[in-house]
Chains A and B, each alone.
Chain A
Amino acid sequence: MPEVEQILHSFYELIVDGSLLRHCVASLFRVTVGFYLAVLIAVPFGILLGCCQSIYRLLNPFIQFLRPISPLAWAPFAILWFGIGDLPAIFIIFLTSFFPLLVATIAAAAGIHPMYFQVAANLQMSRWNSFRNVVLPAIIPNVIMVLRVTLGIAWVVVVAAEMIAVKSGLGYLIIDGRNALRLDRVIVAMTAIGTIGVILDSVMRKLERIESVRWRIEQK
């Protein structure tokens, strides 16, 4: 283990020369883009599959086939397809976030109590209206919860994703520190990852307090 003074010293060093901030921003950028891409695709797709059983039956085997393959197994292909730079890491983070989000959204949409659709039919809601007034609000609490969990997983994977094809990011800092036998730097990067993880989670928790989401918590 490196000495405490040494860790503090390299902490100071990395802050002063601005590289810690640079690495943090690089990692956050990749996680943000990969995660939001996954949300934008997985949530609408999940609603469609959750509401339409015939499409679900058709596609579910493929989803279950792809789901257990570790996103890191895609690393060589990520480099092959996207070259060197941010894109392979973003792709891996996208894959990591996509399947948990998709599966949870499908379950949330399929689990909406049939009674609510019966009420919607009685109130003569149009398809669009029942989507807006029933499907969306009913799944939002579940989706927000899984967003929180998934963002955590995405943040875990960023280190692994940055071990390939990039020269920046907290994951790179760890690999670089390991190669140079600078374990003090590795610990600095680990600390930064943990701190950002706490901040990200508290931001996501704020979402759970939105008025239209609170019903789910208070109902219990």
Chain B
Amino acid sequence: MNKSKIRLDRVTLEYGKDRKHWWGFGKNEGETINGATKRVLDGIDLEIEAGEFVSILGHSGCGKSTLLKIIAGFVKPSGGSVWIDGLPVDGPRGDHVFVFQEGALFPWLTILKNVSLALNSLPDPTERIRKAKQYLELVSLEAFEDYYPHMLSGGMRQRAEIARAIAARPDVLLFDEPFSGLDYLTRLQMREEVLYLHMMLGSTTILFVTHDIDEALQLSNRVVILSEPPGRIKSCYTIAIPHPRLLSSTALGELRTEIYHQLGVHAAL
């Protein structure tokens, strides 16, 4: 019956209702404002196949990052459910890994140790280090293995974090605006890296939250556009153009115009 990799079933989130974080303490994000509830996500239905690369686009505040956190199991939805491989998501798991905007590397560990933490299941520590080095090579950071995160540039940090995420051998990768803190050129380079990794990892499913339309166009098989809050799925576009994609091609250009219109941007075109 249910063959899709990820299935969202009327996922709804309201602030001000019982919104528990799985870790049970810390800041109470999403407290009520004057006792009123605020609906952030409103009945999201979505099915994603294994190996797909799906981008989620939307204005800031439309709940796209929150949606990703719900899929990761970090936030419990107030209604609806998330299914991965036919099993309900009820907390964070090791097989769907979240890549944060920035600063999620442990600053007190070298990047080699950061990556080797993802390999904790290997009993032999030398094997762990050897594997971790391989993953750092994959993102061309092997020369920086003994550096602490604060010694690296933003782009390198992000690559190290991606290396750590794939070292955990997830079958779903959840990217939360991973390149928004990087400069424009680095961002372009990171697109190539992610495409390369996605090709290499084969069956890994990627969900990619962004507000950069070109990023979404260049990377994904499918673009999902969320509406203004409360977030609903406004439209979906499948992009069947093979990689590498030329952003200046007519097909992508038309799609870009269409998506800009969907997002209510007219002046910039």
Contacts and interface: CB of A to CB of B under 8 A. Distances in A.
Contacts of A110: 25-26
A16 interface: no
Given A52-B25, A110-B25, A129-B120, A121 B109 contact: no
Most chain A CB atoms below 10 A, which of B117, B118, B120: B117
B106 A133 contact: yes
For the complex, would chain A's binding face be called helix, strand, loop or mixed by DSSP majority?
Answer: helix
Interface string B115-134: 00110110000000000000
Contacts of A218: 148, 150-151
A115 B26 CA distance: 11
Given A53-B25, A110-B25, A114-B21, A124 B106 contact: no
A217 to B, nearest CB: 10
Interface string B148-172: 1111000000000000110010000
Interface string B183-222: 0000000000000000000000000000000000000000
Interface residues of A, number: 27
A95 to B, nearest CB: 28
Nearest to A52: B25
B227 to A, nearest CB: 27
A114 B26 contact: yes
Contacts of B148: 214-215, 218
B55 to A, nearest CB: 21
A212 B121 CA distance: 24
Given A53-B25, A123-B168, A115 B150 contact: no
Contacts of A219: 107, 150
Contacts of B121: 124
Most chain B CB atoms below 10 A, which of A52, A118, A218: A118
Nearest to B25: A53
For the complex, would chain B's binding face be called helix, strand, loop or mixed by DSSP majority?
Answer: loop
A137 B106 contact: yes
A122 B24 contact: no
B120 A124 contact: yes
A125 interface: yes
A121 B24 CA distance: 13
A120 B117 CA distance: 9
Most chain A CB atoms below 10 A, which of B23, B164, B165: B23
Given A118-B72, A118-B74, A123-B118, A51 B94 contact: no
A160 B118 CA distance: 52
A60 to B, nearest CB: 13
A53 B24 contact: yes
Nearest to B27: A114
A215 B117 CA distance: 18
Nearest to A138: B108
Nearest to A215: B107
Contact of B94 (A114, A122, A216): A122
B92 interface: yes
Interface stretch (B8-16, B97-105, B233-241, B251-259): B97-105
Contacts of B165: 122
B129 to A, nearest CB: 15
B264 interface: no
A123 B120 contact: yes
Nearest to B151: A218
B120 A125 contact: yes
Contacts of A129: 120
A81 interface: no
Given A122-B92, A124-B121, A216-B107, 5 more contacts: A52-B25, A118-B92, A119-B106, A124-B168, A137-B109
26 contacts: A53-B24, A110-B26, A114-B23, A114-B26, A115-B100, A115-B104, A117-B23, A118-B74, A118-B92, A118-B98, A121-B22, A121-B74, A121-B92, A122-B72, A122-B94, A122-B97, A122-B165, A123-B94, A124-B94, A124-B120, A124-B121, A133-B106, A137-B109, A138-B108, A140-B108, A218-B150
Interface of B: 21-27, 72-74, 91-94, 97-98, 100, 103-104, 106-109, 117-118, 120-121, 148-151, 164-165, 168
Interface of A: 51-53, 110, 114-119, 121-125, 129, 133-134, 137-138, 140, 212, 214-216, 218-219
**10 A-B pairs with least C-beta separation:** A121-B92, A124-B94, A137-B108, A53-B25, A215-B107, A114-B26, A122-B97, A219-B150, A117-B23, A123-B118
